[in-house]
Amino acid sequence: MQPVSSPNQLISALEWRYATKLFDTKKLPAATWSALEKSLQLAPSSYGLQPWKFFIVENPEIRAKLRPVSWNQSQVTDASHLVVFTRRTEMTEKDVQDFFDLMVSERKVEADKIEAYRQMMLGGVVKGKDATAQKEWAARQVYIALGQFMAAAAMIGVDTCALEGIDAAAYDDILGLKGSGYETLVGCAVGYRSADDKYAGMKKVRFPMSRVFGKV
C-alpha cells in the first residue's frame, strides 16, 4: 500500500495533538467518526484476542450523569463523542474459542492445522494467568487500543482527551455494566477543540531524545 502521509506530516499531526481541555460542541462528520471507529476495531492486541469493548455514549442524559463522577470535566458532556474503554473481567475458554473459530473462518484454514495456536492462547491467558494477572494483561491491551485511537484521530485532524480522572465503578453503575463481563478502565473525549482552550497553543514539554532513547 502507499503511505497515507509523509514522515513530516506524521510529526506535524503529533505535534498538533494535545490533551484537549475545552471542546467545541460541533459534531464530527459521520464519515470521520466511522473511520475512527474502524481504527478501534483494527487495534492490535496480544494473541489478537481483543479483550475489550468500546462503549460510545451518545445519550446526553447519560453523559450528564457521568460528568460528576469524572471530576466535573467538561469534555465528558461537550465533546462530539465520548468513548468508554472497557476490559474483559475474565478471560474464558469461550473467549479463546470464539476468536479461534473466527480465525478459521476468515483465513479459510483447517482448525487442526492451527490447533497449537489455540492451545498457546489457552495456556498463555486463560490457564496461565490468575484473575489479577488476566485483568492486568487486559488493561495493557486496552491502552494499546487507546493509543492507536488517539494517534489515528490526530492524523485526520480530530482532537482527543484521555480521561483517567473518572470513578470507574460509578461508570459501571451508570452504564449498566455490572455482570456484563466488562468493566470501565478509561474514557476518551473526541471532537474539535474550542477556540477558548488556552492549552491549545502551549508548547509541548518532552524530555530530549537523549533521555528517552537508549542504544544497546
> Measured between alpha carbons, how far is 145 from 174 in angstroms, rounded to an integer?
23
Q: Are 93 and 126 in contact (CB under 8 A)?
A: yes
Q: Summarize pLDDT for 105-153 with one digit per residue, the tens.
A: 999 999 999 999 999 999 999 999 999 999 999 999 999 999 999 999 9
pLDDT computed for residue 3 by the predictor: 87
Name the residue with cell 491467558: 125
- CATH at 46: 3.40.109.10
List beta partners, residue 159: 191
> Measured between alpha carbons, how far is 50 from 66 in angstroms, rounded to an integer?
25
Q: Are 160 and 172 in contact (CB under 8 A)?
A: no
Number of H helices, E strands in the chain: 9, 5
Judge whether 108 lies within some domain. Answer: no
Judge whether 165 lies within some domain. Answer: yes
pLDDT classification of 181: cutoffs 50, 70, 90: very high
Count: domains in the chain? 1
List b or e across 67-93, with b for residues whose CB sees 16 or more CB atoms inside 10 angstroms: bebbeebebbbbbbbbbbbbbbbebee
Name the residue with cell 442524559: 61
pLDDT computed for residue 140 by the predictor: 98
pLDDT computed for residue 190 by the predictor: 98
Judge whether 82 lies within some domain. Answer: yes
Q: Domain range spanning residue 53?
A: 7-89+145-195
pLDDT computed for residue 95 by the predictor: 98
Judge whether 156 lies within some domain. Answer: yes
pLDDT computed for residue 55 by the predictor: 98
Judge whether 62 lies within some domain. Answer: yes
Q: Summarize pLDDT for 64-81 with one digit per residue, the tens.
A: 999 999 999 999 999 999
Judge whether 150 lies within some domain. Answer: yes
Judge whether 166 lies within some domain. Answer: yes
Judge whether 39 lies within some domain. Answer: yes
Nearest to 145 by CA among 73, 86, 75: 86
